[in-house]
Amino acid sequence: MRGPDHDLLREELVAVASSSGLDLAVQRAGLHRRAKHLVVMDADSTLLQDEVIDLLAVECGCAAEVSEITELAMAGEIDFADALRRGHPARGTTESVLDDVRNKLRLTPGARTLLRTLQRLGYVPAVVSGGFVEVLEPLMAELKVDYLAAIGSRSRTAS
């Protein structure tokens, strides 16, 4: 959007964002803005229809424990990333379990089109997740997403 009064435009858009529940950013046009082409999105329940951590927990038979950890983290009682690093119940799963979870990943409708369109327009998509890197890396490679940051990574055992 363009307007002669940047501050007034920002003020009005903030009001619209607040009343509609949207996140909006207002930034002055210029070369510095045109050079920014990074789009970061969440993998879990955004790019994907499921939560990787929940799929892993089901496969490992520890869904109740993972649900409890997630609830505590969402309530701010524990640090989720720290809980994953210190001994998450899904740690030590076999490569075959990872394969099973990878095979269950479902993209949200339009996800491939969104990524292809962003890439054709010169944007660089990046994906973040609370799930495990080992599960997501192959799919991100297939989707040509070069940047992935995931909280969980784990030691592997042979299948």
CA dihedral 110, 113, 117, 119 (to 10 degrees): 110
In tens, the pLDDT along 108-132 reads 999 999 999 999 988 899 999 877 8
pLDDT at 139: 94
Q: Note the Cα 79 to chain centre separation in Å.
A: 17
- Taking a C-beta distance cutoff of 8 angstroms, is the pair 52, 114 a contact? no
| Distance, CA of 41 to CA of 29 (rounded, Å) | 23
pLDDT bucket at 159, cuts 50 / 70 / 90? very low
In tens, the pLDDT along 32-63 reads 666 668 899 999 989 999 988 888 888 888 88
- Taking a C-beta distance cutoff of 8 angstroms, is the pair 67, 57 a contact? yes
pLDDT at 158: 38
pLDDT at 88: 58
pLDDT at 147: 93
Contacts of 38 (CB under 8 A, 6+ apart): 123, 124, 126, 147
Per the document, the length of the chain is 159
Share of the chain above pLDDT 70, in %: 82
| Distance, CA of 15 to CA of 41 (rounded, Å) | 25
* Residues that are catalytic: 42, 44
**Residue 89: pLDDT above 60?**
no
pLDDT average, residue stretch 23-37 = 70
**Residue 140: pLDDT above 90?**
yes
**Residue 154: pLDDT above 90?**
no
The mean pLDDT of the chain is 82
pLDDT at 69: 81
- Bigger pLDDT: 106 vs 61: 106
